[in-house]
Structure 1
């Protein structure tokens, strides 16, 4: 749906749409002809971006793309005389806290996903190998890994029809958001939300306002230790979760998401219906 999926994924470290950092992957290839398999994947991506697919299938696309990219990296590194074990894709893809507008349970726990901390599995597959390398070899390893990663992301993106999927989504999304039916649904959302105490022209604006408040809270929490070293992510999370302003923001975000949830369900249902019609697809 428009306000939840307006991001050109696919990410290899996706956090939270509208709520955190997202590592965006965009193909650089100029390929124009797609194989049937690539076309199928592109179609899958387009529906995922529109929020039409079940969230589990959306997540699986990201996991599949990450797994393929990791395997390509592992295939590439031996050409440089080096070894690489593919990472678990769940160490790269957050399938737990990424924004889910379709679930009341998610809204009750994470709100819109703004203040949710990304959840990734630990990744230590290559630690023992890199620890055995000399300093010079580590430098060579990192250079090779960077090159292999870039090439592998591009190749995996080609296989998964990422350019086509993103392009089709953007074209169809413009048709949907400019349609009279979706605009009417947006007005209904605004009226519904206002009746519940949230006077905003759209859900996107509400989320943007909350995100601005969140950034202000986090700016105060970022800093450095007594020895001058910057806080690492784990320390920032611990500081935030013990901070009263952060806790107040989380409660405010959850309240906004839960209170406007019925309004959003109606809006998203219309978006998906109009998207499928505009795309000429059959319901998945």
Structure 2
């Protein structure tokens, strides 16, 4: 019997809506609250699918609270001065998750081979459910569409002019970097070296846990100094970034078009005549 050619599944209207939503979140056109909502809903859907998958394999599993998986407190928010004053760019912030004990009792009742099979099933279900949830939420298309327009904006003279204005503004604030991306990259490199030093320290030959590492980092003089430096950089360059981000978002709206914005429920406002001034 000849093999049949697999049917290419078209994107559903629901997936298209989610993909557009993600695209606008990545561009900063939608607020940080929408970013938190999207990630929380995505995690909740994945957990729902995991629970169904585990049931099909003969195991109990209660979907976890999505906020035990998604940090909506310290995730980076470039649009908020309050965030910058407390967390800088989010580099040295520690994620905050709500506790999750939904499956503790059941997992404690499993022993030996049964526990091994449970862990194997959970790993498999988590992988397949994550892929399915991401597909339902249009993650691949949303990222792809965002990347395409982002490339157009980065090569646009209007945004390049805004970038030059950002660099001048940041320099006047004491930070000589060509862009926010390069500033953050420099800080990340410094933070990685710092955390490598702190994490390499051991107690009685045992590696420290994540919670222990956080405690030790926060009490480390070098870490404290870096945190102050990061916050100072984020606050000093905040007005510079707000101006550049405004130009970026206006261009994104222009390139994506009014119809797409209307479908996503984004108010359509004519760009200011001086939008390229930064």
- Could you tell me the TM-score, scaled by structure 2's length? 0.89
1:124 is displaced (CA, Å) by 1.2
**Distance in 1 between residues matched to 2:8 and 2:164, nearest whole Å:** 40
Q: 1:107-256, aligned counterparts within 5 Å?
A: 107-256=84-233
How far does the alpha carbon of each residue in 1:202-252 deviate from its partner, in whole angstroms, 9 at most, with x for none?
111111111111112111111354321100001111001111110000000
**Distance in 1 between residues matched to 2:47 and 2:31, nearest whole Å:** 25
1:33 is displaced (CA, Å) by 1.4
SS of corresponding position for 1:282 = helix
Cα distance change of structure 1 residues 73 and 255 upon mapping to structure 2, 3 Å threshold = same
Structure 1, unmatched stretches of 5+, are 1-29
How far does the alpha carbon of each residue in 1:4-49 deviate from its partner, in whole angstroms, 9 at most, with x for none?
xxxxxxxxxxxxxxxxxxxxxxxxxx96511111111111011111
1:282 is matched with 261
**Distance in 1 between residues matched to 2:149 and 2:213, nearest whole Å:** 39
2:236 is matched with 259
**Distance in 2 between residues matched to 1:214 and 1:31, nearest whole Å:** 45
- Could you tell me the TM-score, scaled by structure 1's length? 0.87
2:13 is matched with 36
Number of residue-to-residue matches in the alignment: 255
**Distance in 1 between residues matched to 2:208 and 2:11, nearest whole Å:** 46
**Distance in 1 between residues matched to 2:10 and 2:160, nearest whole Å:** 35
1:271 is matched with 248
How far does the alpha carbon of each residue in 1:243-269 deviate from its partner, in whole angstroms, 9 at most, with x for none?
111000000000010011100000111
**Distance in 2 between residues matched to 1:224 and 1:193, nearest whole Å:** 36
1:135 is displaced (CA, Å) by 1.7
Cα distance change of structure 1 residues 268 and 143 upon mapping to structure 2, 3 Å threshold = same
Largest Rg, 1 or 2: 2
**Distance in 2 between residues matched to 1:155 and 1:208, nearest whole Å:** 33
Which of 64, 70, 79 is the aligned partner of 1:87? 64
**Distance in 2 between residues matched to 1:121 and 1:107, nearest whole Å:** 23
How far does the alpha carbon of each residue in 1:66-107 deviate from its partner, in whole angstroms, 9 at most, with x for none?
000000000111111101000000000011101111000000
1:282 is displaced (CA, Å) by 2.7
**Distance in 2 between residues matched to 1:47 and 1:190, nearest whole Å:** 25
**Distance in 2 between residues matched to 1:31 and 1:133, nearest whole Å:** 42
